[in-house]
Amino acid sequence: MKIISYNVNGIRAAIHKGFLEWLSKENPDIICIQEIKATEDQIPRMEIEALGYHTYFYPAKRKGYSGVAIFSKIEPTRVEYGMGIEKYDAEGRFLRVDFENYSVVSVYHPSGTSGDERQDFKMQWLHDFSDYTQTLKTSLRLVLCGDFNICHRPIDIHDPVRNAHNSGFLPEEREWIDGFIRSGFTDSFRYIQGDVKDCYSWWSYRFNARAGNKGWRIDYIMVDDRLKSLIHSANILSNIVHSDHCPVVCELD
């Protein structure tokens, strides 16, 4: 089973850049999308379904902002929209599909780059997200796909020294992701690829960052430790350019 996570930074813009043609060729069983920045009526659902997918969208209430989606070739037994926490659900950050033996989530963690208020919001989200997923784990085996907006380790960012005090690589954020992994999740990319360097999933549009590979690895597929033995492969598709992010992929046996 091939699962992809992809922050498309606007699904309509990505489609104009060939996203659907790429999706048809890549042919994942499930793709989790973040930052759709569109309402369901603005997305060519029939074209996506013609590729064999069941489609589920959870846009933000604010137009042109945030939002997540899941396209799955396997019809889920249940679809859960949001976390039941209004301040997060209004931003369209969490969508879950359940299958017989596992559940897949598309999640878009907040960014704190716009200032202290949003950084505080992000830290509260991280606390609440941990609590919520731990509650889910009592009855579900989770595969969490999304933009976490955090680089975990120095090898996950092109310049750990000069970014040490920037949102996305703050000590408290990295400490959170340490604890989150210890709570029962496996970073599928590191599980397969080990300590390989210079592998990123996001590059700023400024300073020719992508051409120079000055990136950040902030997109993850986190696999419930109870499913860890099923991880067959994991990679970052850095040559795919519909967005300032690129897709990350994990195959489960």
Positive or negative torsion for Cα 178, 202, 93, 101 = negative
Spatial separation of the C-alpha atoms in residues 226 and 205, rounded to whole Å: 38
Mean pLDDT rounded to a whole number for the chain = 98
Q: What CATH number did the domain enclosing 118 receive?
A: 3.60.10.10
Which of 147, 156, 187, 219 does the annotation list as catalytic?
A: 147
pLDDT value, residue 242? 98
**Is 147 labeled as catalytic in the residue annotation?**
yes
Instruction: Kindly state the average pLDDT of the residues 228-245.
Output: 98
Q: What are the φ and ψ backbone dihedral angles of 7, each rounded to 5 degrees?
A: -85, 110
When divided into structural domains, the chain yields a total of 1
Share of the chain above pLDDT 70, in %: 100
pLDDT single digits (tens) 110-136: 999 999 999 999 999 999 999 999 999
Query: Could you list the residue range(s) of the whole structural domain that residue 91 is in?
Result: 2-252
Q: What is the pTM of this model?
A: 0.97
